[in-house]
Chains A and B, each alone.
Chain A
Amino acid sequence: MTLDGFENDTTARIVAVDWASLAEGEAKRLRALGVDEGAEVSVVHRGVFGTRDPLALRIGRMTIALRRVHARAIEVEPA
C-alpha cells in the first residue's frame, strides 16, 4: 500500500520509496526531510474542498507538505 491510500492520523512505516519516479531535486529534498525507508510517518491533513492533494505529513516532530504524486511513490505498512 502507498502512503496515498493510507488512513489519516495513523502511524505508517515506510518500507520502500520509488526514488527513480521522482525528480532528482525532489528526491533529495524528501530524503533530507527524513522521508526514507524505516521512517515512521502519519498523514495529518489532506487537500482542500474534497481533493486529496496536497498532504501534510507528520514525521518526527516536524510537519511537511508534499503532493499526492510523492505519496504514491512511498510504499508503507502499518507500524
Chain B
Amino acid sequence: MSRHRTAALVGNPNAGKSALFNALTGARQKIANYPGVTVERKAGRLTLPSGEPLELIDLPGSYSFDAASPDEDVTRKVVHGEFEGEALPEVLVLVLDAANLEQHLVFAQEVLELGRPTVVALNMVDLAERDGLTLDAAALSAALGVPVIPTVAVRRKGLDELCAAIAEAESHADEEAHKRWHITLPERRLAAKHMARAAILSASARHTIENGVDRVLLNPWIGPVILFGLLFVIFQAVFAWATPFADALEGAVGAISGWVVDIMPDGFFRDFLTEGVLAGVGSVVVFLPQIVILFFFILVMEATGYMARAAFLMDRLMAGVGLSGKSFIPLLSSFACAIPGIMAARSIPDPKDRLTTILVAPLMTCSARLPVYAVIIAAVIPETTLGPGIGLQGLVLFALYLAGIVGALVVALVLRNTLAKGAASGFIMEMPRYQMPRIRDLAIGLWHRAYVFLRRAGTIIFVATIALWLMLSFPKAEPGESQLDASVAGMVADGLHPVLEPIGFNREMSLALIPAMAAREVAVSALATTYAVDAEDEDLAAEGVTDRIAALWSLPTALAFLAWFVFAPQCISTIAVARRETNGWKWPTFMVVYLFALAYAFAGLTFWIATAAGL
C-alpha cells in the first residue's frame, strides 16, 4: 500500500514538465482554471506500481518562489499549502533539465528547503547527451538528499522508476534544510554550480545544435525572411487545407438538419432545432478545421522551440507600439479566431501588455470575417487583373487584412500611452533548446484546443444563437409580411437604421448586423434571408445574395460595409472571453465601445470619400 494520493510537478520553465506530465498521465487530463486567476490548472491521473491511482497536477513553471508573474504566484501558494481550495500536494516531483543543471538547481534548492517529500526527475537526459554531457544521478541524489531518477519524458524512459519513487517518497525535513534558511541568491547559485559540477562526469566541448541553427534562424537579415515565409505557408495552409473539412462539417450539419426535418412534425420545436440550434452552432463549428490547422502549426512552433525565436524576431516591431515579442503568439492565433488568441495572452507576464494584447486581438482578421468579405468583394469588385498574378479582388482582401493589422498596431500604441500606460515593458525570455516535436504531445495539445473551442460553441454560442433566433422569430409575421420585418430584431433594426444611414448603410444591412452579433459570418445568411433568396444551401444562398448586392448596393455602400467589419466587435463569444480573462465587464465594455466607434468612423469615412470620388 502506498500512502500518497496527490503529487505535483514543479520546476523551471522549459524543464520538459508538460511532456513529462503527458507521458505520465496520457490523455486522462482535466484542464481548468485556478479560481480567481487566469492560470491554467492541469490535473491528471496515473497508476502507481501498487495499482493505486494518484492525482498529479502540473504546476506552472517557475524560476523562483519570489514570484514575478501570476503563474509563479500560483506555484508558490500551492506548494506552501496557501492556495484556497487546493490541497497541499503530498509529494513534489521536481523536474530538472539535465542539460541545464546549474540553472535549474537554483530553484530546486528553494523547493527542497520546503522539506516536503520530494522526488527529482532528471529530465531530458537524451538532450544532455546530445550536448556532450554525461551525468551521475547518484552523485546528484547524494548532494540533494532525495531520490534522483533520470527520465526522457518523450521516450517514456524512466517513468516506471519515477512512479515507484513517488509511491515511496519520504519527507526529508531535517536540520540541514533549516540551516539553509538565511541563504541568499548568490550563495544558492554558487551551491548550484558546485552540485552541477559534481554531477557532471564529463562534458565534451561539442558545439550545441542551437548555436548553428540560431546562426541562420536568428540572423538579423535571413531570420525575419524565414519567419515571414513560414507565416505565408501557414496562412496558405489554413485557408487551402481547411476547405474540404469545413465543407464536410457543413454537409454533416446540413444532413442532420435534413434528418430532423424528416422525422419531426412541422412546428416550433423543429424550427428551433434546425434554424436555431443546428444553424447557429453549425455556423461556428465549421471554423474548427481552420483553428485546428493553425494550432497545429503554433504547437509545432512551440514544441520545437522556434516560437521563442519568432518572438525574438518580432520583438522590435512590437516594441514600436509598446508591446513585446510575447504578444506575437496571441495575435497570430487571432487570425483563426480571437477566442484562443485572447486566451493565449495569459503567457504575457506584464499585466498592461496583456490587457493591450487582449483589447487589440479582435482587430486581427479572424476566419469568421472571410465569408462576409468574400461575398461583398465578389459582388462589387470587378475581376480585373492589375499585373501577373495580382487580381483586384485579392488586393482588396489583402488591404482588409492589412487594415486590421495596422489598426491593431495603432490602437496598441494609443492604449500604451494612455489607458494601459506603464513602465517600459520589457522582453525577457528564455530561449529553449531545439527539440523534435512528438506526435503524442501535439495530438494532446490539439485535442485540448479543439475541446475548448467546441465547449464554447456548445455553451456561449449556443445560448447567444438561440436568443437571436427567438428575436428573429417573434412575434410571428402576418401573411404577406416578411418575418424579419415583423420580428423583434426587425424593430431593433428600424431603431438602428437612422443611426447607420449617414454612413451609407441601407435598412437590410442594419438588420443583418443584429444576428451577426453572434458571429460575423451570420451577416451573409441574414442578408440572404432578407433578400428572400430562395436557396437550399449556403453556397447557393451566397451566390444569390451576391447578385442582389451587386444589383442593389452602390459601391460606396459596399465598401463601407467592408470597412465596418474590419473593426466591429460582432462576436458575443469574444466579448464573453474578454470578460472572463479580464475578470470583469470594465474592459470588455471599453473594447466593444471603441471597436464600434472605429467601425462607425471608418465605414463613414470610406462611404463619404468613395462618394466624393464619384465611385
Q: Which residues of A contact B424 (CB under 8 A)?
A: 23, 69
Interface residues as binary, A22-42 with B (CB distance below 8 Å gives 1, 0 otherwise): 110110111111101110000
The answer to the question of B138 belonging to the interface, with a C-beta cut-off of 8 Å to chain A, is no
Known: A28-B64, A48-B220, A54-B316. A64 touches B100 (CB 8 A): no
Q: Which residues of B contact A47 (CB under 8 A)?
A: 220, 316
The total number of A-B Cβ pairs within 8 Å is 115
Interface residues as binary, B211-240 with A (CB distance below 8 Å gives 1, 0 otherwise): 100100010110110000000000000000
Task: Find out whether the CB atom of B427 lies under 8 angstroms from the CB atom of A29.
Answer: no
- Separation of A64 and B214 alpha carbons in the complex (Å): 12
Q: Which residues of B contact A60 (CB under 8 A)?
A: 100, 102-103
Q: Which residues of A contact B103 (CB under 8 A)?
A: 33-34, 60-62
Task: Find out whether the CB atom of B429 lies under 8 angstroms from the CB atom of A64.
Answer: yes
Contact among B64, B99, B312, B349 for A56, CB-based, below 8 A: B312
The B173-189 residues at the A interface (CB cut-off 8 A) are 185-186, 189
- Separation of A66 and B324 alpha carbons in the complex (Å): 11
- Separation of A61 and B99 alpha carbons in the complex (Å): 7
Q: Which residues of B contact A49 (CB under 8 A)?
A: 220-221, 224, 316
Task: Find out whether the CB atom of B220 lies under 8 angstroms from the CB atom of A29.
Answer: no
Task: Find out whether the CB atom of B100 lies under 8 angstroms from the CB atom of A36.
Answer: no
CB distance from A20 to the nearest CB of B (A): 13
The answer to the question of B543 belonging to the interface, with a C-beta cut-off of 8 Å to chain A, is no
Task: Find out whether the CB atom of A23 lies under 8 angstroms from the CB atom of B428.
Answer: no
Task: Find out whether the CB atom of B211 lies under 8 angstroms from the CB atom of A29.
Answer: no
The answer to the question of A13 belonging to the interface, with a C-beta cut-off of 8 Å to chain B, is no
Task: Find out whether the CB atom of B426 lies under 8 angstroms from the CB atom of A70.
Answer: yes
Task: Find out whether the CB atom of B221 lies under 8 angstroms from the CB atom of A63.
Answer: no
How many interface residues does A have (CB within 8 Å)? Answer: 35
CB distance from B422 to the nearest CB of A (A): 8
Task: Find out whether the CB atom of A63 lies under 8 angstroms from the CB atom of B430.
Answer: yes
Q: Which residues of B contact A34 (CB under 8 A)?
A: 103, 106, 189
The answer to the question of B342 belonging to the interface, with a C-beta cut-off of 8 Å to chain A, is no
The answer to the question of B313 belonging to the interface, with a C-beta cut-off of 8 Å to chain A, is yes
CB distance from B201 to the nearest CB of A (A): 16
Known: A50-B220, A62-B100, A62-B430. A67 touches B319 (CB 8 A): yes
- Separation of A69 and B315 alpha carbons in the complex (Å): 13
Task: Find out whether the CB atom of B100 lies under 8 angstroms from the CB atom of A61.
Answer: yes
- Separation of A29 and B71 alpha carbons in the complex (Å): 13
How many interface residues does B have (CB within 8 Å)? Answer: 42
Contact among B107, B186, B315, B431 for A63, CB-based, below 8 A: B431
Task: Find out whether the CB atom of B220 lies under 8 angstroms from the CB atom of A53.
Answer: no
Q: Which residues of B contact A48 (CB under 8 A)?
A: 220-221, 223-224, 313, 316
- Separation of A36 and B187 alpha carbons in the complex (Å): 12
Task: Find out whether the CB atom of A65 lies under 8 angstroms from the CB atom of B220.
Answer: no
Interface residues as binary, B82-123 with A (CB distance below 8 Å gives 1, 0 otherwise): 000000000000000001101100110000000000000000
CB distance from B324 to the nearest CB of A (A): 8
The answer to the question of B596 belonging to the interface, with a C-beta cut-off of 8 Å to chain A, is no
The B501-559 residues at the A interface (CB cut-off 8 A) are none
- Separation of A17 and B426 alpha carbons in the complex (Å): 16
CB distance from B166 to the nearest CB of A (A): 27
Task: Find out whether the CB atom of A65 lies under 8 angstroms from the CB atom of B224.
Answer: no
Q: Which residues of B contact A50 (CB under 8 A)?
A: 220
Task: Find out whether the CB atom of B428 lies under 8 angstroms from the CB atom of A65.
Answer: yes
Q: Which residues of A contact B69 (CB under 8 A)?
A: 25
Task: Find out whether the CB atom of A32 lies under 8 angstroms from the CB atom of B68.
Answer: yes
- Separation of A33 and B429 alpha carbons in the complex (Å): 9
Known: A33-B430, A49-B221, A50-B220. A65 touches B312 (CB 8 A): yes
CB distance from B212 to the nearest CB of A (A): 11
Task: Find out whether the CB atom of B431 lies under 8 angstroms from the CB atom of A65.
Answer: yes
CB distance from B140 to the nearest CB of A (A): 16
The answer to the question of B325 belonging to the interface, with a C-beta cut-off of 8 Å to chain A, is yes
Q: Which residues of A contact B218 (CB under 8 A)?
A: 44-45, 56
Q: Which residues of B contact A29 (CB under 8 A)?
A: 63, 68, 349, 428
Contact among A22, A30, A37, A53 for B315, CB-based, below 8 A: A53
**Considering the complex of A and B, which 9 residue pairs feature the smallest CB-CB distances, nearest first?**
A32-B63, A28-B68, A63-B431, A45-B218, A26-B426, A23-B423, A25-B68, A32-B64, A54-B315
Q: Which residues of A contact B63 (CB under 8 A)?
A: 29, 32-33
CB distance from A60 to the nearest CB of B (A): 5
